[in-house]
């Protein structure tokens, strides 16, 4: 089968598709002042029909997994219609989402029924006060209730992501809370190392801490490193036979992080981004307007891959086009 391949031999079975920039949370590292409409860009977000054409083209280019993200993907009124389309009309094998979970307790049933193949929920701390301080919303209990509901409905493939923040959640107390959680729940928990963004330089300077503070903790506690599958994410995972769940670490500043890159991104307004931080990104939306543009669309995406760079060069302070992760789809 045809595969998307770049000039460094990397293949791309995985797409992260933002379906909206809008978000109702105010995470300090992402949208500290909440979502603000970009007045310089009045293009609407991709419609469900445009998403359908895009996903069909991608599936014919060997993409097997699409992650819906944002902004907060579940704020879109047609969110479940989009999931249905991806599942039934496009040939994409796995559809998963990343969400802040703010309505999870209300939509757990619909999520389970939708056929979604996985859900990543962002929870920066199991401490209610810390959660509220980071996100600007006191919704941790409802989110945890939502997770319980999903488990009762036997929904598989639940992951939790937290951004590791110096002086906020990088302490033994937080690590131990997550340990207890992962011991009793068949859920993977991963810390993401804070990334510098165009808008967030001061925040980064204040709160960035290397992921090794957490890996040191798990190494001391008998966790075993696990190897990755083809469409796996960037997380290095660790298992422990006496725990139901797994731990993981996403460390974008680690040496060789980009060597295993297997994903491309598409923004909510239909720009292809070759890297979360890359300066390269073109609009592919003009080729999502009619069904007979499929071949042209596939050709454009394949050719663009020649421009994908070897690394994100984050360690040099490059942030490319990315002001915050809500616009590029974290
Ligand atoms: N709103 C959804 C959510 O929060 O899960 C989806 C979009 S959010 C941009 C996707 C992920 O990016 C979240 O897990 C969030 O914690 C992470 N993120 C946002 N800004 C980040 C940053 N500067 N560094 C590292 N991770 C970040
Ligand atoms: Fe919203 Fe997600 Fe950004 Fe938090 S990380 S502000 S929930 S888009």
CA–CA gap between residue 191 and residue 218 (Å, rounded): 12
Q: Is ligand 2 within 6 A of the CB of residue 30?
A: yes
What is the Å distance from ligand 2's center to 28 Cα?
Answer: 9
Element (H, E) at 131: helix 128-135
What is the Å distance from ligand 1's center to 266 Cα?
Answer: 15
> Under DSSP, is residue 28 helix (H, G, I), strand (E, B) or coil?
coil
CA–CA gap between residue 84 and residue 107 (Å, rounded): 15
Rg (CA), the chain: 19
What is the Å distance from ligand 1's center to 133 Cα?
Answer: 16
Specify the pLDDT at position 255.
66
Report if residue 94 sits inside a domain: yes
What is the Å distance from ligand 2's center to 27 Cα?
Answer: 6
If one residue of 16, 22, 71, 195 were mutated to test the ligand 2 pocket, choosing by the most ligand atoms within 8 A of its CB, it would be: 71
The angle formed by the CA atoms of residues 254, 257 and 259, to the nearest 5 degrees, is 145
Specify the pLDDT at position 233.
61
How many other CB atoms are found less than 10 A from the CB of residue 32?
13
Ligand 2: nearest atom to the Cα of 324: 3
Nearest in space to 246 (alpha carbons), one of 194, 195, 186: 186
Report if residue 19 sits inside a domain: yes
The token pair at 97 is: 């989402």
CA–CA gap between residue 82 and residue 54 (Å, rounded): 12
Please state the domain count of the chain. 1
Report if residue 214 sits inside a domain: no
Ligand 1: nearest atom to the Cα of 120: 5
Report if residue 60 sits inside a domain: yes
Ligand 1: nearest atom to the Cα of 326: 9
**Displacement of CA 126 from its chain's centroid (Å):** 20
Specify the pLDDT at position 329.
58
What is the Å distance from ligand 2's center to 198 Cα?
Answer: 15
Residue 302: φ, ψ to 5°: -60, -45
Question: Strand 281-283 and strand 271-273: pairing?
Answer: antiparallel
Residue 152's region, left for phi above 0, alpha for psi from -120 to 50, else beta, is: alpha
Specify the pLDDT at position 6.
80
Q: 0.85 cut: is pTM over it?
A: yes
Report if residue 247 sits inside a domain: no
Nearest in space to 38 (alpha carbons), one of 68, 15, 69, 71: 71
> Under DSSP, is residue 296 helix (H, G, I), strand (E, B) or coil?
helix
Q: Is ligand 1 within 6 A of the CB of residue 200?
A: yes
Specify the pLDDT at position 330.
58
Specify the pLDDT at position 209.
96
325, 319 contact by CB (below 8 A): no
Question: Strand 65-69 and strand 14-18: pairing?
Answer: parallel
CA–CA gap between residue 313 and residue 291 (Å, rounded): 38
Question: Strand 65-69 and strand 263-266: pairing?
Answer: unpaired
Specify the pLDDT at position 232.
57
What is the Å distance from ligand 2's center to 291 Cα?
Answer: 33
**Displacement of CA 262 from its chain's centroid (Å):** 13
Ligand 2: nearest atom to the Cα of 100: 7
Range of the domain at 136: 14-156+253-327
Ligand 2: nearest atom to the Cα of 72: 8
Report if residue 195 sits inside a domain: no
Q: Is ligand 1 within 6 A of the CB of residue 30?
A: yes
Q: Is ligand 2 within 6 A of the CB of residue 15?
A: no
The enclosing domain of 275 has a CATH number of 3.20.20.70
Residue 209: φ, ψ to 5°: -140, 135
197, 147 contact by CB (below 8 A): no
Q: Is ligand 2 within 6 A of the CB of residue 71?
A: yes
Q: What is the pLDDT along the chain (330 residues), one digit of tens a residue?
A: 678 888 777 887 889 999 999 999 999 999 999 999 888 888 899 999 999 999 999 999 999 999 999 999 999 999 999 999 999 999 999 999 999 999 999 999 999 999 999 999 999 999 999 999 999 999 999 999 999 999 999 999 999 999 999 999 999 999 999 999 999 999 999 999 998 888 888 999 999 999 999 999 999 998 999 876 554 567 889 999 999 999 999 887 776 677 777 778 899 999 998 776 665 578 999 999 999 999 999 999 988 887 666 666 655 555 554 677 776 655
Report if residue 203 sits inside a domain: no
Ligand nearest to the backbone CA of 19: 1
The angle formed by the CA atoms of residues 72, 143 and 122, to the nearest 5 degrees, is 50
How many other CB atoms are found less than 10 A from the CB of residue 284?
20
Q: Is ligand 2 within 6 A of the CB of residue 194?
A: no
If one residue of 19, 20, 21, 23 were mutated to test the ligand 2 pocket, choosing by the most ligand atoms within 8 A of its CB, it would be: 23
What is the Å distance from ligand 2's center to 5 Cα?
Answer: 30
Length of the chain counted residue by residue: 330
Atom 11 in ligand 1: residue holding the nearest Cα: 330
Report if residue 206 sits inside a domain: no
């Amino acid at each position: 089968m045809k595969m998307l391949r770049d000039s460094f031999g990397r293949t791309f079975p995985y797409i992260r598709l933002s379906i909206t920039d809008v978000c109702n949370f105010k995470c300090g590292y992402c949208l500290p002042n909440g979502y603000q409409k970009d007045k310089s860009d009045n293009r609407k977000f991709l419609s469900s029909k445009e998403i359908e054409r895009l996903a069909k083209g991608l599936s014919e280019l060997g993409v097997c997994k699409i992650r819906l993200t944002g902004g907060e993907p579940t704020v879109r009124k047609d969110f479940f219609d989009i999931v249905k389309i991806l599942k039934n009309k496009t040939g994409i094998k796995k559809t998963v989402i990343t969400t802040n979970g703010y309505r999870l307790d209300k939509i757990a049933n619909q999520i389970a029924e939708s056929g979604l193949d996985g859900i990543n929920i962002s929870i920066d701390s199991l401490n209610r006060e810390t959660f509220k301080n980071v996100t600007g919303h006191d919704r941790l209990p409802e989110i945890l209730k939502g997770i319980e509901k999903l488990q009762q409905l036997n929904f598989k493939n639940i992951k939790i992501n937290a951004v590791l923040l110096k002086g906020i959640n990088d302490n033994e107390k937080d690590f131990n809370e997550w340990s207890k959680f992962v011991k009793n729940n068949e859920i993977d928990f991963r810390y993401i190392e804070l990334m510098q963004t165009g808008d967030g330089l001061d925040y980064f300077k204040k709160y960035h801490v290397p992921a090794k503070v957490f890996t040191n903790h798990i190494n001391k506690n008998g966790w075993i490193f696990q190897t990755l599958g083809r469409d796996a994410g960037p997380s290095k995972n660790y298992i422990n036979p006496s725990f139901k769940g797994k731990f993981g670490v996403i460390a974008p500043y680690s040496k060789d992080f980009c060597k295993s890159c297997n994903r491309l991104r598409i923004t909510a307004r239909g720009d292809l981004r070759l890297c979360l931080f890359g300066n390269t990104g073109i609009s592919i939306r003009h080729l999502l307007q009619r069904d007979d543009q499929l071949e042209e669309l596939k050709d454009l995406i394949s050719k663009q891959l020649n421009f994908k760079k070897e690394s994100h060069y984050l360690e040099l302070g490059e942030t490319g086009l990315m002001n915050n992760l809500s616009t590029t789809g974290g």
